């Protein structure tokens, strides 16, 4: 895995992580999958902001780990989960960086949801 580039956020690709003071609730199939007041908002370059939710506030039993993985040179290897209650639309709906790079250590033990693969993130 040494062939993967590792990059540090900077002026050319800024990444910020800040506490979200609001309650964040994720629902799928009429069921609450996550409910927290401890989310963090990650803003990366020109991408839409993403809410990362602590695993302790996620119904992890409602998720099924998938084989899908991706790599971000700024954050590391991402693992994915599907939400069976959401059917086909909720395949690989959740991602997490279980061993993020040092610069992104703040999102360890957090998960994020694709807004178009769940019913609602409010």
- Tell whether the model's pLDDT for residue 2 goes beyond 80: no
Question: What was the pLDDT predicted at 81?
Answer: 98
Instruction: Dump pLDDT digits (tens) for 83-94.
Output: 999 999 999 999
Taken in order of first residue, the domains within the chain and their CATH numbers are 15-121 (2.170.150.40)
pTM over 0.85: yes
Answer yes or no: are the C-beta atoms of 55 and 39 closer than 8 Å.
no
Given CA atoms 18, 109, 29, 116 in this order, what sign does their dihedral have? positive
- Tell whether the model's pLDDT for residue 96 goes beyond 80: yes
Contacts of 87 (CB under 8 A, 6+ apart): 29
């Amino acid at each position: 895995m040494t062939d993967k580039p590792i990059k540090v956020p900077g002026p050319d690709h800024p990444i910020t992580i800040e506490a979200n003071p609001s309650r964040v609730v994720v629902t799928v199939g009429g069921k609450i999958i996550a409910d927290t007041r401890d989310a963090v908002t990650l803003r990366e370059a020109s991408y839409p902001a993403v809410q990362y939710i602590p695993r302790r506030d996620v119904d992890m039993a409602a998720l099924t780990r998938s084989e899908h993985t991706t790599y971000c040179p700024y954050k590391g290897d991402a693992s994915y989960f599907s939400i069976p209650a959401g059917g086909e639309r909720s395949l690989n709906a959740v991602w997490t960086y279980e061993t993020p790079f040092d610069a992104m250590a703040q999102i360890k033990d957090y998960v994020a949801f694709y807004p178009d693969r769940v019913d609602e993130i409010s």
